[in-house]
Structure 1
Amino acid sequence: MSRAGEGGSMAAAALFDVDGTLLDTSYWHTIAWSEAFAQFGRHPAMARIHGAIGTGGNQLLDHVVGEDRDRPGRPNRP
């Protein structure tokens, strides 16, 4: 592979960091989930959310707000 400026063209590439190896994004995911919960009137502790980061969205919801989260009239749980 040649470098740009040496008479060749630069190769196009994309780098994906889906498992947090290059950047630790769990803090940002925690903030995003916290803001999403707040939009629905729920305010769980950040530590509770952070403990579920890395699981699937449905597992995170079960962990943070409980498995009966979709029942109508369910009171807010921290």
Structure 2
Amino acid sequence: MAALRPAGWFPGRCVDVSSDVQSLEGQGYVPSPVTTDFLASFRGLKIGPAREDGPSSTVNRSSSTQWGSAGGIRTKRR
């Protein structure tokens, strides 16, 4: 949670992910409601390394992880 709040997350955060859902569906995926809720809550957040002196400190400090992963997506049944 400590990294989420500075990145802009707050309880109840909900961003429009309809274009993401349409894109996934166009690629043959069916996002589950859990996936859609996750994306709406965390889409677009940029979170840097947890520790500057830890294992990720060798990574370019200007890099960040962008949430918006499509985890939990099921493929369409054919």
TM-score (norm 1): 0.37
Q: Larger strand proportion, structure 1 or 2?
A: 2
User: Structure 2 length normalisation: TM-score?
Assistant: 0.37
Which structure ranks higher in relative contact order (CA pairs < 8 Å, sequence separation ≥ 6)?
Answer: 2
